[in-house]
Structure 1
Amino acid sequence: MNPRLDVLREKARRLPLTPGVYIMKNPKEQIIYIGKAKALRNRVSQYFGAGNQHTPKVRRMVEQVQDFDYILTDSEYEALVLECSLIKQYMPKYNILLKDDKGYHYVRVTKGPWSRISEAKQMAEDGSLYLGPYTSGWTVKQAVDEANKIFGLPTCSRRFPQEIGKGRPCLNFFIKQCCAPCRGKISAEEYEDIVEEAVDFLKGGKPFSKKELTQRMEQAAENLEFEKAARLRDRIQAIERVSQKQKVVMSRVPVQDVIAMARVGEKAAVEVFRFTNGRLHDQESFLLGEIDTEPEARQEFVERYYTMRPDAIPPVIAMDEPAEDMELLGQWLSERAGRKVTLQIPQRGEQRHLVDMCRANAAEKLAQDVGRTGKEVAALEELGRLLGLDSPPRYIESYDISNTAGSDNVGAMVVFEDGRPLKSAYRKFAIKGFEGQDDYASLYEVLSRRFHRYEEEKETGEGFGRLPDLILMDGGKGQVSAVLPVIREHGLDVPVFGMVKDDKHRTRAITSEGAEIAIAATRSVFTLVSDIQEEVHRFAIGYHRQKRSKSAISSTLQGIPGIGPARAKALLRTFGTVGRVKEATEEELSAVKGMNAQAAKAVRAYFDGEDF
């Protein structure tokens, strides 16, 4: 804990309730965080207030604060402008900082014969033709890929003319993405003509319409140049395939950016799609590390991103979810761009499709960092949004009850962490508080015992000492209502929902005390929730069958005169099975704790078929 916390708290209480910027410093007088506030006193006091539940990132920052300065401004907008300027100047370690790694990229066309078209990060004095420079490596990669596919140019490692006629052509020839010079059926002159056309295509100096290519193909066929006609046919088909691929990421808004975030725990990733002339021309990914709240992180990201790209602010920015202060952010962007900039949160249609695609890419980027698949990250993201949670639920607990007409009543808890089963955290509960069948009372008992253990072990932060981000009950509103009083009795804030099945015992929806939330339309969420429901049901049924089997075996032994529940349990604990009890001698039976010579004789007589 910071030993200066009381001093800092008192200083924060003396701040005015006016807009401004606050500057946190460590003992070495280094600036470690810069923030803005509508009311300085309220905002800064939150950092040093007693009992605040900070995120790990904020907690670490507060522990390092030796002192703070502040600058008053006339408005919150002025505070935003000043904050951006100071962050750019000092680069504090606890602010979201984006690395501008935009270098120069080129398209390289090697010197013929048998030229190759590829990407290059810098020009070299190798006699090649270089197109560029371009600031986007992604744009160059897309352009080179399109040119090679449309014109059927080789991308393999074979060397020409040395390897012409040696070996079979690769797969690209058979899927009509390469003219395969390795077959020896195309001359060097024809090949260079194709490369020249591809270079014209990349320069944008010569349009290649399907109509023109079709006319050339028909002319070649009339001249009996069937190989040439076939290559032109393949080129037409390649253009159609590329066009279909581009339609997926086309926008009716000519110039815009699309920004989306994916989050797992405190880590987050942001993806930016940039559109020009309605076509996706650039794509950027950023790992943010630890963040506090998503709206705050979105606000900070947009500020940092367009501080880094001041000349590239589009007229329209589509976002997946709102930032902390959309109106203020829009004003700041418009001021920097010198024109109106519109921030929007699309809810349906083409724009929503683009946002969802952008978010899926952010989830994939984050998945690579946290060791999960993109689908798992996306499922948790979407589940959190559907349920109205502040962040995706990383740690999910699920509960179910199993019994046979009220006998051998058990409860089960399974845990999913980051979308996967965490079997080391599974727990079994034998219902002890009552006899008979009452699933609601059983759930109340199970959750009471679970959160009583939390109070005892919360300092460890592990096992029962860890609070779940979400509880899913196998059942509907009744099951949810049965356990909510437990949550309230312990003063906790844990969201609880039920998993509802249809008449075919398949997961249908998620429910709270209020309305149901349909999940069938959201495939990733449907799969995740179905997996959780099936797993908790399987685990509960398995424990119940195990307990029922032991009860049946125990009741067999209890049919022997003088053998009650305690002795039956002791015998099974020692010998493992009834068969081994049957084979034991009187001496071995007498040696079991709780047994005596008379009881051992009764067991032997029972299995030997003798009267006792």
Structure 2
Amino acid sequence: MDAQILKSLKEKVHKLPMQPGVYIMKDKNNTVIYVGKAKKLKNRVSSYFRAIDHHLPKVYKMVQNVVDFDYIVTDSEFEALVLECSLIKLHNPKYNILLKDDKGYSYIKITNEPFPRIVSDKNHLDDGSEYIGPYMSGFVVNQTVDEVNKVFQLPTCSRKFPAEFGKGRPCLNYHMKLCMGLCQGKVPQNEYAEIIAQAKNYIHNGGDLTEELTRKMEECAEKLEFEKAARYRDRIMAIRKIGDKQKVIFSKVENQDVLGFVATDNNSVCSMLIFRGGRLVDKQDYLLGEPGALDEMRREFIAQYYTTPDRIPPLVTVDGEVADQELLAGLLSDRLGRKVTIHIPQRGEQARLVEMALKNCAQTLSHETDKTGREIAALDELAKTLGMETPPSYIEAYDISNFGAATKVAGMVVFENGKPLRSAYKKFTIKTVEGTDDYASMQEVIGRRLARYEQEKDTGRGFGRLPDLILLDGGQGHLNAVQPILEAFGLKIPMYGMVKDDRHRTRAIASDGGEISISAHKRAFNLVTAIQDEVHRFSITYSRSKHRKSGLESVLTGIPGIGKTRAAALYRHFKTVKAISAASEEDLLAAPGMTRPAAEAVYGYFHPAESAPE
């Protein structure tokens, strides 16, 4: 940021009042790029221009583009919140959350063919097909189409009927009783048309057909049309089964929205589950762009989304802290004309529904990144458990491994986007520590790693890249030992210990405030366990290799003419003691640094009978 501009902005900040209001950030073109509200304008606006390098990436980018700002003083913080919403809608600032309602409509389509199919479609074409809709939600359409095809056992394959009747055996859906087996050609066209009519009736009447179907089943049974009666029976059972399945996704609260928010490095999403009449009726996903602080992101989304009474339920359930929660609840209550509660559940049914929303968030983001939904969910859960603003995409973990006082090493593993990045793994040989002192060894390793960062930071790769999170295999003692090293380098990297139980399994996360239990957070627990197991495996494998090499070198150095340098060179060249013992004199001579007498001495050591004088 230009020093002169920064100086000018700071001077302007000093003139701000300590009153509630709205601030409006502008760029060099006088375009509004961010609108925010504040309880005390001077304190809030000044925070943007202090320690700029420590801001979250989104805020940092915004501040870099600020050339000027305006402000409007209000009588209360509530008025500031209302004004903020209005100005965001007016200016569409680049660095605010911008909700776009551009998903279009969806339709349920009954195709125009002798044996029609029921499918979903985003277009209403003039093709002779029958369209039911439009629907705002593709989720509702897809759910309805899937449900009606299962209930009425309609074909969902790509075969053409009646042209392909009797050609080929029925597919698996037929044997699972998910399809009537139309491909066998045993269902007359008039009977199939009756089934399609019932399916349309089912769509229009929300699935309440059991009484009518029961009556028809009984009529067919009285006429001894048992096969037809069996098909009605199967439809009734399918409707009841679908109903039972839907009861799993229900809410004791009649009307509520459940919101989950998940962020990666450069994107964030809100998944909204909409319950009406106690039933999940819709799901909406909103990509929110580069993430800022999660509590602010939740506040801004809720304030912008619930602008009209028809959207506002009496309960909004959220996955975490919401900035100005009480103030925001007051705003929604004012808009709806009755009390609205914003709730953050900790356990029970509501917490389960929040978990469902978060899974949908992770799945949506997985389509935008190279991460799977599971990895995104695990990183997000880990971040929330540790109180981090954004999920850590680049994690470094360290472990010390000793084979007595002679072999002391450390391993560093890297997990990027929740997966091992083996090309970034590093090995360390402890050089300055006497005896077996794990704390001092960890201090040396972290110090050397950060020193390499200072040398290579311009590259942005390998040691030139700082992690988002450091995990140490150990507890509070390791943290206390290493924290001064981070501070000496002037770095603020979140750092935690990975604590094991008596069986060497991950038990908790150690922080400077004590231990954090992660056993209740399944995805975060599994991720930390995987990291801890991997860093232990990597470090102990290196330690064993180093120990074997050290033992071999001590054997070789007992041979006349072979010192430590030649012993190490032999080991590097042949890799194993077996290969050295099996080598001929000529092969040994070909190794770096070897002379004829030295080669003869090594060969003679491993082949004493051949070298003995006659």
The AA in structure 1 aligned to 2:448 is R
The match for 1:2 is 2
Go from structure 1 to structure 2 and tell me whether the alpha carbon gap of 1:50 and 1:374 turns closer, same or farther (over 3 Å shift).
closer
Determine whether 1:544 maps to 2:543. Answer: yes
The match for 1:249 is 249
The AA in structure 1 aligned to 2:202 is F
The match for 2:110 is 109
Question: C-alpha displacement at 1:240, in angstroms?
Answer: 2.6
Go from structure 1 to structure 2 and tell me whether the alpha carbon gap of 1:584 and 1:312 turns closer, same or farther (over 3 Å shift).
same
Q: Say whether the 8 Å CA contact 2:395–2:471 is kept in structure 1.
A: yes
The match for 2:237 is 237
Question: C-alpha displacement at 1:149, in angstroms?
Answer: 1.5
Determine whether 1:168 maps to 2:169. Answer: yes
Listed as ranges, the matches of 1:149-548 within 5 Å are: 149-204=150-205, 207-209=208-210, 213-214=213-214, 216-307=216-307, 311-512=310-511, 515-548=514-547
The match for 1:82 is 83
Moved more, 169-178 or 352-361: 169-178
Return the alpha-carbon distance in structure 1 between the equivalents of residues 452 and 399 of structure 2: 19
The AA in structure 2 aligned to 1:75 is S
The match for 1:53 is 54
Go from structure 1 to structure 2 and tell me whether the alpha carbon gap of 1:212 and 1:406 turns closer, same or farther (over 3 Å shift).
farther
Question: C-alpha displacement at 1:492, in angstroms?
Answer: 3.6
Go from structure 1 to structure 2 and tell me whether the alpha carbon gap of 1:605 and 1:42 turns closer, same or farther (over 3 Å shift).
same
Return the alpha-carbon distance in structure 1 between the equivalents of residues 403 and 176 of structure 2: 60
Return the alpha-carbon distance in structure 1 between the equivalents of residues 157 and 573 of structure 2: 69
Go from structure 1 to structure 2 and tell me whether the alpha carbon gap of 1:310 and 1:26 turns closer, same or farther (over 3 Å shift).
farther
Return the alpha-carbon distance in structure 2 between the equivalents of residues 370 and 462 of structure 1: 21
Question: C-alpha displacement at 1:232, in angstroms?
Answer: 1.4
Deviations 1:399-446 (A, max 9, x none): 112222222111111111121111122111111113432223322222
Deviations 1:2-61 (A, max 9, x none): 352222222222222222222222222222222222222222222233554223323332
Return the alpha-carbon distance in structure 2 between the equivalents of residues 600 and 116 of structure 1: 82
Return the alpha-carbon distance in structure 1 between the equivalents of residues 265 and 500 of structure 2: 29
Determine whether 1:555 maps to 2:587. Answer: no
The AA in structure 1 aligned to 2:44 is R
Return the alpha-carbon distance in structure 1 between the equivalents of residues 154 and 205 of structure 2: 18
Return the alpha-carbon distance in structure 2 between the equivalents of residues 513 and 95 of structure 1: 34
Q: Say whether the 8 Å CA contact 1:262–1:270 is kept in structure 2.
A: yes
Q: Say whether the 8 Å CA contact 1:2–1:62 is kept in structure 2.
A: no
Q: Say whether the 8 Å CA contact 1:586–1:601 is kept in structure 2.
A: no
Question: C-alpha displacement at 1:261, in angstroms?
Answer: 0.7
Q: Say whether the 8 Å CA contact 1:469–1:495 is kept in structure 2.
A: yes
Moved more, 416-425 or 150-159: 150-159
Moved more, 575-584 or 22-31: 575-584
Go from structure 1 to structure 2 and tell me whether the alpha carbon gap of 1:530 and 1:575 turns closer, same or farther (over 3 Å shift).
closer
The secondary structure found in structure 2 opposite 1:311 is: helix
Question: C-alpha displacement at 1:234, in angstroms?
Answer: 1.5
Moved more, 408-417 or 309-318: 309-318
Return the alpha-carbon distance in structure 2 between the equivalents of residues 371 and 397 of structure 1: 20
Question: C-alpha displacement at 1:608, in angstroms?
Answer: 7.4
The AA in structure 2 aligned to 1:306 is Y
The match for 1:143 is 144
Return the alpha-carbon distance in structure 1 between the equivalents of residues 356 and 576 of structure 2: 58
Go from structure 1 to structure 2 and tell me whether the alpha carbon gap of 1:143 and 1:457 turns closer, same or farther (over 3 Å shift).
same
Return the alpha-carbon distance in structure 2 between the equivalents of residues 515 and 53 of structure 1: 25
Question: C-alpha displacement at 1:598, in angstroms?
Answer: 7.9
Q: Say whether the 8 Å CA contact 1:586–1:597 is kept in structure 2.
A: no
The match for 2:19 is 18
Q: Say whether the 8 Å CA contact 1:112–1:192 is kept in structure 2.
A: no
Q: Normalised by the size of structure 2, how large is the TM-score?
A: 0.90
The secondary structure found in structure 2 opposite 1:290 is: coil
The secondary structure found in structure 2 opposite 1:27 is: coil
Q: Say whether the 8 Å CA contact 1:153–1:177 is kept in structure 2.
A: yes
Go from structure 1 to structure 2 and tell me whether the alpha carbon gap of 1:408 and 1:559 turns closer, same or farther (over 3 Å shift).
same
Question: C-alpha displacement at 1:137, in angstroms?
Answer: 2.4
The AA in structure 2 aligned to 1:322 is E
Q: Which runs of 5+ in 1 are unaligned?
A: none
The AA in structure 2 aligned to 1:429 is F
Moved more, 142-151 or 567-576: 567-576
The AA in structure 1 aligned to 2:277 is N
Aligned residues: 608
Go from structure 1 to structure 2 and tell me whether the alpha carbon gap of 1:580 and 1:88 turns closer, same or farther (over 3 Å shift).
same
Return the alpha-carbon distance in structure 2 between the equivalents of residues 461 and 349 of structure 1: 45
The AA in structure 1 aligned to 2:557 is Q
Deviations 1:234-278 (A, max 9, x none): 212211331232122211111111110112234211101111111
Moved more, 75-84 or 483-492: 483-492
Question: C-alpha displacement at 1:180, in angstroms?
Answer: 2.8
Question: C-alpha displacement at 1:127, in angstroms?
Answer: 4.2
Question: C-alpha displacement at 1:557, in angstroms?
Answer: 2.4
The secondary structure found in structure 2 opposite 1:550 is: helix
Go from structure 1 to structure 2 and tell me whether the alpha carbon gap of 1:485 and 1:217 turns closer, same or farther (over 3 Å shift).
same
Return the alpha-carbon distance in structure 2 between the equivalents of residues 123 and 38 of structure 1: 50
Question: C-alpha displacement at 1:296, in angstroms?
Answer: 0.9
The AA in structure 2 aligned to 1:227 is E
The secondary structure found in structure 1 opposite 2:75 is: coil
Return the alpha-carbon distance in structure 1 between the equivalents of residues 174 and 470 of structure 2: 54
Return the alpha-carbon distance in structure 1 between the equivalents of residues 65 and 97 of structure 2: 18
Return the alpha-carbon distance in structure 1 between the equivalents of residues 138 and 589 of structure 2: 79
Deviations 1:110-136 (A, max 9, x none): 457533333343444444443333322
Go from structure 1 to structure 2 and tell me whether the alpha carbon gap of 1:530 and 1:576 turns closer, same or farther (over 3 Å shift).
closer
Go from structure 1 to structure 2 and tell me whether the alpha carbon gap of 1:586 and 1:225 turns closer, same or farther (over 3 Å shift).
closer
Return the alpha-carbon distance in structure 2 between the equivalents of residues 281 and 323 of structure 1: 25
Q: Say whether the 8 Å CA contact 1:508–1:520 is kept in structure 2.
A: yes
The AA in structure 1 aligned to 2:220 is A
The secondary structure found in structure 2 opposite 1:298 is: helix
Go from structure 1 to structure 2 and tell me whether the alpha carbon gap of 1:258 and 1:170 turns closer, same or farther (over 3 Å shift).
same
Go from structure 1 to structure 2 and tell me whether the alpha carbon gap of 1:182 and 1:77 turns closer, same or farther (over 3 Å shift).
same
Q: Say whether the 8 Å CA contact 1:9–1:49 is kept in structure 2.
A: no
Return the alpha-carbon distance in structure 2 between the equivalents of residues 561 and 48 of structure 1: 70
Q: Say whether the 8 Å CA contact 1:73–1:79 is kept in structure 2.
A: yes
Moved more, 77-86 or 597-606: 597-606
The match for 2:40 is 39
Go from structure 1 to structure 2 and tell me whether the alpha carbon gap of 1:409 and 1:62 turns closer, same or farther (over 3 Å shift).
same
Question: C-alpha displacement at 1:509, in angstroms?
Answer: 3.2
The AA in structure 2 aligned to 1:301 is F
The AA in structure 2 aligned to 1:27 is K
Return the alpha-carbon distance in structure 1 between the equivalents of residues 53 and 275 of structure 2: 43
Question: C-alpha displacement at 1:294, in angstroms?
Answer: 0.6
Return the alpha-carbon distance in structure 1 between the equivalents of residues 437 and 47 of structure 2: 46
Q: Normalised by the size of structure 1, how large is the TM-score?
A: 0.90
Question: C-alpha displacement at 1:494, in angstroms?
Answer: 3.2
The match for 2:64 is 63
Q: Which runs of 5+ in 2 are unaligned?
A: none
Return the alpha-carbon distance in structure 1 between the equivalents of residues 566 and 131 of structure 2: 89
The secondary structure found in structure 1 opposite 2:177 is: coil
